[in-house]
Amino acid sequence: MEWTVWAAVERVAPELVRAMEHRVRVMQRIDAHAPIGRRALAQAMGQSERTLRTELEYLKQLGLVAASSSGVSLTPEGKALLGELEPLVAEIAGRSDLAWRVSSFLRIPRVIVVEGDADEDTWVTDRIGQAGSDVLSDVLQDGDIIAVTGGTTVAAVAKSMSAKPLRQRITVVPARGTVGEIVAYQANTIASELAAKLGGSSVLLQISDSLSQKALEQLLDDPYIQERLPIIRQATVVVHGVGDALAMARRRHATEEEIRLLQAREAKAEAFGHYFNAQGEVVYAMRTIGLRLDDVARARVVIAVAGGQRKAQAIASVANAYRIDVLVTDEGAARRILQLETPAGKERVEHGSEGWH
Amino acid sequence: MEWTVWAAVERVAPELVRAMEHRVRVMQRIDAHAPIGRRALAQAMGQSERTLRTELEYLKQLGLVAASSSGVSLTPEGKALLGELEPLVAEIAGRSDLAWRVSSFLRIPRVIVVEGDADEDTWVTDRIGQAGSDVLSDVLQDGDIIAVTGGTTVAAVAKSMSAKPLRQRITVVPARGTVGEIVAYQANTIASELAAKLGGSSVLLQISDSLSQKALEQLLDDPYIQERLPIIRQATVVVHGVGDALAMARRRHATEEEIRLLQAREAKAEAFGHYFNAQGEVVYAMRTIGLRLDDVARARVVIAVAGGQRKAQAIASVANAYRIDVLVTDEGAARRILQLETPAGKERVEHGSEGWH
DNA sequence: ATCCTACGGGACGGAAAATGTCCCTTTCGT
DNA sequence: ACGAAAGGGACATTTTCCGTCCCGTAGGAT
């Protein structure tokens, strides 16, 4: 298969490609377990019985599967077709396996790996955003408070979130004050956009993240802050990007001294105003206003979105630092992560499926 | 592009491939006419403005098209992507062009060409059936009487018709009595199945098509027939297959004498109990009960479904014989048809678009 | 032999998405 | 200055999707 064309197809019609991949997976699973019951299959695929049923009915109409009293199986035709789809199957299985291995390696229950490398193709970030917004829609509950950080990847999540009628009461808040100059990638902007898409409200935090110690303390007494901060810190869902330590430090206009310090302490990642080394230990903390690490620990769901192999080390670091429930990343980062040294003294834990949608 | 895999993909997820092709077409059109208005584009694509709008909104979200005050255009990204999709574009354009040429050649307003050759791959018949059922759904109106003939292709149309809630009052009738032994491909069976799918009723005709002259005349006086025949002959929509003259004669257990006669008169096609030569002239007519040629002429829409290059000559013959509004065929037949000699003394006529769905 | 479980499949109501329809403001070209 | 045509918002309606409950049955275990 000429992957150039295929990659282009994925960009033109990602939902269709995903639907196709799903269908192939269903067929794979049927082939492996045939004959298998509809309900068992649905559970294995992590979807409702009814939706699977629709799919099966269609496949049946195409003459690719047949149902008997003991369950559904592939027809000879379906089997032959699955063989012809080998290259595609390999690709899907490969990415699924990748997700599984990253999940084990980082001890993150749910890992989603999209195709490509964000460092090489900027549009990969969009696909991470799509996958991220799907996950977010999936986990959202009524009354949730979503905290979002800044960054291009989180911005992509908000961008690709489909507008929903306001059925749930959702509040979106920025995890922290403002970092960087590009407004579109600031937490405030993203929170506002996401709230609009979800039909919820947003509580913004119009302060700079790089204030003097003194100014910060003054702010903490301010009614404006005192009113908003508690809401932010009660976030139930956290969607955050992961930054490379030095890159983030420079973006924040850190002093040369600070940068030297971070280098000396081998800081690898930045998140929520904290710098972490490879082992996930906090090596430097900025005194800022916003979501703290212990707030993150209290959140119901913590979603990390980050792609590109340059982010691999940073992702691994934060995975050691605090609980991450869902990681949405790309192939570039995933492969690089697996090349990193295994963190010593940490045993593997159970993990769930990497999840289809 | 490795067409082996692509063909397999088409069989596993034909609707998705079609949707994809449509999207690419939209992009092509935008690229060619940019900037173009939404309404103009919708009209050119033969779909409603609102549905196109949904598509455009999605394409916009993917960053492939951009809207300005003067209309929508492809973004540089979209342009680049369209370039990468070149093989696919060529394929689509090729088939579209094929349909256009067949449409001109046979003077059939609407021609749909699906991929493949029914003589080589039996599943191509299914795809013709799908396309046919789409067309049928498209043209159906309340109160319609659909007459169907027998044959595998028409059976495929009924098979792939999606079940509809009974919103329209539809009657389905067999065009003729019973031909051949395989029940599944008999007009009666097909009519019954189609009626069930459409939530309509069927009026069947339980008589053999190959009766003696005398028996036929007796039947014509029978109340059973007198009640049903007028309904059949009032059909407003006709869906019929096209048969090769000799093949059909043999299937009907024609005598050696008859076959020799057909050969002598250069019969090429059979339809509605009539045999036609290449010029579309009736060279032999069976005296049977059912839909007649002048009934076909009165129908609102006449749809012919037939594939495989062996049917090429037969299709061309019947196209000369009576009015066909829609032809659904495959590449194999289409290419072969264009190699046939142009019927002399017939000028080209205007034709519509080959139609997307 | 008989229970018992899991199978496919029918039916139906409510939720969600798609779509037809109408209107508005803006932006061009004339 | 004006009008045609652009994109986009809003909303009712249609259509599709999906959760849920149920049924008859086949096949394995008891």
Is 70 exceeded by the pLDDT of residue A350? no
For residue A34, which of A67, A59, A60, A56 has the smallest C-alpha distance? A67
Mean pLDDT, range A204-215, rounded to an integer = 66
**Single-letter residue type at B105:** F
Per CB-CB distance under 8 Å, the chain A contacts of B128 are: none
Grade residue B349 by pLDDT with cuts at 50, 70 and 90.
Answer: very low
To the nearest whole number, what is the mean pLDDT of chain A? 84
Cα B86 from Cα B90, distance rounded (Å): 6
Model confidence pLDDT, tens digit, residues A123-170: 899 889 988 988 888 888 888 899 999 889 999 998 888 777 666 788
C-alpha angle B143-B148-B150 in degrees, rounded to nearest 5: 165
Mean pLDDT, range A275-300, rounded to an integer = 89
Q: Which residue has the tokens 């930054």?
A: A243
For residue A241, the cross-strand partners are A305
A19 touches chain B (CB under 8 A): yes
Q: What is the 3-state secondary structure (H, E, C) of A237-260?
A: EEEEECEEHHHHHHHCCCCHHHHH
The predicted structure's pLDDT at residue B343: 53
Per CB-CB distance under 8 Å, the chain A contacts of B77 are: 123
Per CB-CB distance under 8 Å, the chain B contacts of A63 are: 123, 126
Grade residue A43 by pLDDT with cuts at 50, 70 and 90.
Answer: confident
Is 90 exceeded by the pLDDT of residue A307? yes
CA distance B106 to chain A (A): 31
Residue contact A85–B9, C-beta within 8 A: yes
Residue contact A88–B5, C-beta within 8 A: yes
CA distance A131 to chain B (A): 13
Grade residue A320 by pLDDT with cuts at 50, 70 and 90.
Answer: very high
Structure tokens at A287: 């005194």
Per CB-CB distance under 8 Å, the chain A contacts of B129 are: none
> Which has the higher per-residue pLDDT, A114 or A34?
A114
The predicted structure's pLDDT at residue B101: 92
Model confidence pLDDT, tens digit, residues B134-190: 888 888 888 889 999 988 999 999 888 877 766 678 888 998 866 555 666 788 888
Q: Which of residues 238-257 of A touch B (CB under 8 A)?
A: none
Q: Which nucleotide is nearest to A69 (CA to C1')?
A: C7
Per CB-CB distance under 8 Å, the chain B contacts of A5 are: 1, 84-85, 87-88
CB atoms within 10 A of CB B133: 23
Lowest mean pLDDT among B13-27, B245-259, B269-283: B245-259
The predicted structure's pLDDT at residue A347: 47
CB-to-strand C under 7 Å, chain B 228-247 = none
Is 70 exceeded by the pLDDT of residue A343? no
Model confidence pLDDT, tens digit, residues B109-138: 999 998 889 999 888 998 899 889 888 888
Cα A287 from Cα A89, distance rounded (Å): 49
Residue of B4, B6, B9 to mutate, interface with A, max A Cβ within 10 Å = B9
The predicted structure's pLDDT at residue A167: 66
Q: Are A192 and A250 in contact (CB under 8 A)?
A: no
Cα A281 from Cα A287, distance rounded (Å): 17
Model confidence pLDDT, tens digit, residues B59-99: 988 889 988 888 898 988 888 888 888 888 888 888 888 99
Residue B244, SS3 per DSSP: strand
Model confidence pLDDT, tens digit, residues A172-185: 999 887 655 566 67
Query: Which residues make Cβ contacts (< 8 Å) with residue B327, sequence separation at least 6?
Result: B102, B106, B108, B110, B111, B112, B303, B304, B305, B306, B315, B319
Lowest mean pLDDT among A87-96, A256-265, B204-213: B204-213
CA distance A79 to chain B (A): 11
Structure tokens at B3: 């067409």
Is 50 exceeded by the pLDDT of residue A8? yes
To the nearest whole number, what is the mean pLDDT of chain B? 84
CA distance A77 to chain B (A): 10
Residue contact A62–B27, C-beta within 8 A: no
**Single-letter residue type at B117:** D
> CA–C1' distance A355–C11 (Å)?
31
The predicted structure's pLDDT at residue B115: 86
Grade residue A54 by pLDDT with cuts at 50, 70 and 90.
Answer: very high
Residue contact A12–B1, C-beta within 8 A: no
Grade residue A276 by pLDDT with cuts at 50, 70 and 90.
Answer: very high
> CA–C1' distance A315–D28 (Å)?
51
Structure tokens at B22: 């449509």
The predicted structure's pLDDT at residue A184: 65
Cα B131 from Cα A351, distance rounded (Å): 45
Grade residue B213 by pLDDT with cuts at 50, 70 and 90.
Answer: low
Residue contact A12–B5, C-beta within 8 A: no
For residue B157, which of B179, B178, B137, B183 has the smallest C-alpha distance? B137
